[in-house]
Amino acid sequence: MSDVIQLLPDHIANQIAAGEVVQRPASVVKELLENAIDASATSIKLVVVDAGRTLLQVIDNGKGMSTTDARLCFERHATSKIKKADDLFNINTKGFRGEALASIAAVAQVTLKTKPSSEELGTVINIEGSKISTHEPIATDKGSSIAVKNLFFNIPARRNFLKSDSVETRHINDEFQRVALTHPEIAFSMFLNQKEVFNLKRGNLRQRIVAVLGKKTNEKLVPISEKIDQANIEGYVFKPEFAKKKQPDQFFFVNNRFIKSSYLNHAVSGAYEGMIQAGHRPGYLLYLTVPQNTIDINIHPTKTEIKFEDEQTLYAVIRAAVKHSLGLYNVAPVLDFERDPQLDVPYVYKDKKPSTPRINVDPTFNPFKNEGAISQQNSFYKSNYDKGSENAFQQKQAASWRNIYAEIDEASIDLEKASPTQEPIPFDFKPDFDSYQIFNKYLITSIKGNLIYVHQNLAHQRILYEQLLKRITLNEIMSQQLVFPKEIWLKKTDILLVKDLKEILERIGFTFGDFYEEYVEVVGIPVNMNAEISQEIFEDVITNTKENIPDEHTRFEMIAKRLAAKMAIKTGVRISKNEQKEILKQLFDCKEFSIAPSGKKTFITVKPNDVDRLF
């Protein structure tokens, strides 16, 4: 039998390797920009022609390269970043694999001009399909300029698979923005078909974010800053009202490197639960700094995926940091059920300085001048006191507050658009007329001349959800004992998991009997819960725990949300007038009465003008 295994020629091996590194023009942009950053450049210019098909050029004012280095940098596995295997776990630079320039040169026509500051002349190298055609000295500025022309000229099939110019340009923009957002201390510019698209000056992080994402971004940002032993977290998250259904601005950077992580994204999204509508996603720009020896960034050719040594801790820290910042900057309400809302100051008065009280003194007053008048005055006070005017001061204060509330423009309070975090005054539910139930699904009432359509199931979910969280927060464990124990059948591995979660479940209101090999006895359940839904509750808890959600408070919220959904009044159930009134009153007493735990609206408003337009 003849031998069938053979070594591939270098030019074919280089083209295969290029397929991993150079997927599209944006891949070239990423590698060249990162090389410029590693060269300590303070100004970087990107030139793009025909979405990168004709030309991609990066010009920097970095260190530059000697003649030997300029030639050697196009060899495979040639790098200045690592010298031994241990260096892979202590990488502080961008490009380190030593394949980028070699791969690019294998599938394009490349011209490199470079000069270090210590030399008078620089070097120019022309390469076409890995073959050097020119290598000679040249007069050029300090730094490097590398031009990549006619990408995939020698692989027509790969060139045909490129998308339209608009799509490829969008990918180039994405890569440019990711790099620019990571290094606000570097000036960046980008030219597309000879037109300047970006001109980013050096500045701080917030200035760079606004310059890249637009001026309107500034009002959306909520800063984050948390430092612990495992990681430092800096950056910004977007306010809940700016959450989007599609393509929100979401950026994760780890040690100044853009990454993609659905797991960490879930941590951020979880912090917004109850604040954004279902189907919406929050925006964020988070910068994590972790010890280099706790991550592995060499698991993907594009280096956009990273392995963490302790993902669960990062998950909990990120989620807590986002929630803390949203609460700290009054974007989200603080979970304080003991707060007296009557003590809140209206927003219209929050910036007003108190005036100094003035005391009027009558210098001619003589208390001994007319004792008869004093006696008569005392009798006047006594008679008024007897009539019950001891609360005159309180009545005067109440009248004063009513005047303050009257100054607020009622038109600015839109129940449909207002969120609990925007509500400056405790909502006083005073309907214009009694409520009505229609379709056994909605409750209709009127507030301030507007019709309110309340979804009875979603409203009741919000009420029960906050009641359950209150019990958990205040450790008010309320459990009802079952006449006959309920058997919850689970997998063997899940039984062990329930044992670990026993303490958490007991704080919710569950009490347990014996644990068996394949089922567990439940002898008590939370008050007002139907025993039949216990199985579903336990399955949900187990599923979420298996997804490595480590935060105990997150599990409480998840269980409370599930219980509220199962215990709420169902659609199609007829309820009495008293029950309707109680639901409406309790709903508007909630912290976040406009949104159900699932993120859906609990009610909508219909203004008279909306009705008029129907006729």
pLDDT by residue (tens digit) across 487-510? 998 776 678 778 878 887 888 889
**Would you state the pLDDT for residue 397?**
46
**Would you state the pLDDT for residue 195?**
87
Q: What is the DSSP string of 99-165?
A: -HHHHHHHSSEEEEEEE-TT-SSEEEEEEETTEEEEEEEE---SEEEEEEESTTTT-HHHHHT---H
CB atoms within 10 A of CB 290: 18
Which phi and psi angles does 283 have, rounded to 5°? Answer: -95, 155
Joined tokens for residue 135: 């290598």
**Would you state the pLDDT for residue 473?**
76
Amino acid identity for residue 339 in this structure: R
Cβ-count burial of 517 within 10 angstroms (0-12 exposed, 13-18 middle, 19+ buried)? exposed
Q: Are 488 and 612 in contact (CB under 8 A)?
A: no
Of 326, 291, 329, 327, residue with least CA distance to 309: 291
Residue 601 CB partners (closer than 8 Å, separation 6+): 277, 416, 455, 458, 594, 595
Q: Are 222 and 331 in contact (CB under 8 A)?
A: yes
Cα angle, residue 532 at apex, residues 529 and 535 outer, rounded to 5°: 100
Q: Could you give the C-alpha distances from 12 to 16, 127, 132, in angstroms and in order?
A: 6, 16, 16
Provide Rg for the chain, Cα atoms: 34
Q: Is the dihedral of CA 177, 179, 181, 185 positive or negative?
A: negative
As averages over each run of 10 residues, the pLDDT of the chain (615 residues) reads 74 66 89 92 96 95 92 79 57 62 90 93 92 92 95 88 85 92 95 91 94 86 88 93 84 91 90 86 93 73 74 89 84 48 47 66 65 48 44 48 42 40 48 84 89 94 89 79 89 76 84 88 87 81 64 73 86 91 90 89 90 86
Q: Are 56 and 48 in contact (CB under 8 A)?
A: yes
C-alpha 449/C-alpha 387 separation (Å) is 38
C-alpha 578/C-alpha 510 separation (Å) is 31
How far is C-alpha 441 from the geometric centre of its chain's CA atoms? 34
Provide the phi-psi class of 186: left if phi over 0, else alpha when psi is between -120 and 50, else beta.
beta
Q: What is the DSSP string of 246-277?
A: S---EEEEESS-EE--HHHHHHHHHHTTTTS-
Strands (E), 220-349: 221-227, 232-238, 250-254, 258-259, 284-289, 295-296, 307-308
Structural domains of the chain ordered from first start = 10-200 (3.30.565.10), 205-328 (3.30.230.10), 337-352+414-615 (3.30.1370.100)
Joined tokens for residue 538: 């336990």
